[in-house]
Amino acid sequence: MVEKFSVLMSLYAKEKPTNLCECLDSILDQTALPDEIVIVKDGPLTEELENVLKKYVTQNLNLYRFISLPEN
């Protein structure tokens, strides 16, 4: 029996979109997939980062949960 688990990560405006893609791809490429990926948007994000998130949410709508903080 596989245990259920979540992945929690913080995301900041200064993060590079390519690094975010690599991070999410790595999570999705693991042998045991998480039941959810919780992303804390720690302050406003760039449009590029939001576009990356939209792309991944479109692929796996029910996998992602977001917590948005108004400022870092």
Average pLDDT of every residue of the chain: 95
For the chain, the maximum distance between any two Cα atoms, rounded to a whole number of angstroms, is 40
pLDDT digits (tens, 9 = 90+) for 47-68: 999 999 999 999 988 999 999 9
Is residue 1's pLDDT more than 80?
no
pTM of the model: 0.91
